Amino acid sequence: MRLFVCGARGSTPAPGPEFVRYGGHTSCVAVATDDDERPRLVLDAGTGLQRLSRLLDGEAFRGTILLGHLHWDHTHGIPFFAAGDRRDSEVTVILPGQGSEPAELLGRAISPPHFPIRPEELEGAWRFESLEAGETQIEGFSVLALDIPHKGGRTFGFRVTDRAGATLAYLSDHGPLAVGPGPAGLGEHHEAARTLASGVDLLVHDAQHTAAELPAKAHYGHSAVDYAVGLAQDSGARRLVLFHHDPPRTDDELDAIVAEQRRAPLPVIAAVEGVVIEVLARRG
C-alpha cells in the first residue's frame, strides 16, 4: 500500500515560513492499494484534505473518509474538499458511533451560524455512516477500529491491512496517560494501542509533545514523542512516523526531534506533508 501524507499538523493549521518543510495542514492521510493509482481511503479530514484534491489532478473523489474523531482539526477540511464537492463525486464519511445521526453530529460544527452550509448540502453523492469498534472491509482494505483514550469525544485508532498483508496503524490523537502512567510515566501501553500497533509495517502515531512539555499539556489528551517510540518498540512495529505536530513546532525544532531518535531501536521519521510512503508487508 501507499500512504499519502496530506496534513500532519495537530490542533490548528500552522502557516508561515517556519513551517514550510513539514507543512502546516492539519491531520489527513490518504491510502491507496497497489492496484489503485489514486487513493480511495482517507483517514481524517483536516485542512490537508485540500491537498488530496490536487493529488487527484482534476478527478472527482470516489471513496471513503474515515474519521478517528470529530475535533475541528480532523473535520474542517470537509467543506473545502474540491474533489468531493462536485456533482460527479461519491463520498462516504464514516465516524465513530455516538448515539446520534452522523450527519447531525458533523452538522453541529458545519452549519449556520458557524458555517454557510450543512454537510448534506455538499455537491455530489455524500453518505454519512457510523462505525462501531471491530473489523470491517473498506475500499479494499481490512480495517480494525478500536477505542483509544483522547479527551473530548469518542476516538478510534485504526489498523489498516491490504490484500498483500501490509499493515498500517494510525493513532493520530492518543492520550494514554488517561489509562495510567505506564512504564516511563508518559502513558500506559494499553491493550487497544498494543493490538493496533502489534507487528505493523508502519505506525503513524500522535507525537504532539516532548516529554518535558507533557506534564503541562497532558489534559488536552495527546502523547509525547518518547511514548510513541516506546509503544512502537513494545509492539514490534517496523517503522514509526511521528504525527500531529504541535502547531508552534517549527521545521528546525522537528529536525532536532528526529535527530534525537537516530539511536532509537527502530527507524523514526516525522510526517512531512506531501510525502508518499510505501508500506510493504513483512517477509519471512
Is the pTM of the predicted complex or chain greater than 0.95?
A: yes
Helices (H) and strands (E) in the chain, counts: 6, 14
The type of residue at 13 is P
- Domain containing 202 — which CATH number? 3.60.15.10
Is 283 among the domain residues?
A: no
Could you read off the pLDDT of 18-28 as tens digits, one per residue? 999 999 999 99
What does the alpha-carbon distance between residue 75 and residue 96 come to, in Å, rounded to a whole number? 13
Q: For residue 284, what pLDDT band results from cuts at 50, 70 and 90?
A: low
Q: What is the dihedral of CA 144, 148, 150, 153, to 10 degrees?
A: 70
Looking at residue 231, what is its pLDDT? Answer: 98
Number of domains in the chain: 1
Nearest to 105 by CA among 93, 92, 122: 93
Is 284 among the domain residues?
A: no
The burial of 21, by beta-carbon neighbours within 10 Å (0-12 exposed, 13-18 middle, 19 or more buried), is given as middle
The type of residue at 42 is V
Could you read off the pLDDT of 226-243 as tens digits, one per residue? 999 999 999 999 999 999
Summary mean pLDDT of the chain: 96
Q: List Cβ neighbours of 53 (8 Å cut-off, separation of 6 or more).
A: 61, 81, 82, 83, 84
The answer to whether 92 and 63 are in contact (CB under 8 A) is: yes
Is 53 among the domain residues?
A: yes
Is 48 among the domain residues?
A: yes
Mean pLDDT of 55-65: 96
Is 261 among the domain residues?
A: yes
Is 256 among the domain residues?
A: yes
Q: List Cβ neighbours of 5 (8 Å cut-off, separation of 6 or more).
A: 23, 29, 48, 271, 272, 273, 274, 275, 276, 277
Domain, as residue range, for 75? 2-278
Q: For residue 37, what pLDDT band results from cuts at 50, 70 and 90?
A: confident
Count of CB atoms within 10 A of residue 172's CB?
A: 32
